[in-house]
Amino acid sequence: MSPLTIAALIQRGYSPKPPVRWPKACCDDDIRSADIVIALKEAEHKPFLQKRHKAVAGRVKFWHIHDLDGAKPAEALAELEAEVRKLIAELKAKPKAKV
């Protein structure tokens, strides 16, 4: 996880528990088994997912958040926070499945 992301989480009152690690590659089963899969930068991740994970790429929700190549950290983190808040609101609004 980026040190900038860790700092932003701590600033907001969240403390990631060790071990904090860098992202690792996923497999089709990871995508199939997840309730929600989000790729943060569609332009970067969509072609890769369509090529390497063609069978499950349609399950991925794409956001449009730039890395350091297209945005300052504060801008990208603000966009990410807004998307997460929006997702939380969507999930809260969804009717709960009956078990």
Considering the entire predicted model, what is its pTM? 0.80
pLDDT in tens, 4-39: 888 888 999 998 888 888 778 889 999 999 999 999
- Distance separating alpha carbons of residues 36 and 61, to the nearest angstrom: 8
Asked if 65 contacts 80 with a C-beta cutoff of 8 angstroms, the reply is yes
β-bridge partners, 61: 38
pLDDT in tens, 30-76: 999 999 999 999 999 999 999 999 999 999 999 999 988 889 988 99
β-bridge partners, 62: 39
* Helix axes 3-11 and 73-93, enclosed angle (nearest 10): 60
The pair of structure tokens assigned to 63 is 């956001």
- The answer for residues whose C-beta is within 8 angstroms of residue 38's C-beta and 6 or more apart is 60, 61, 62, 63, 87
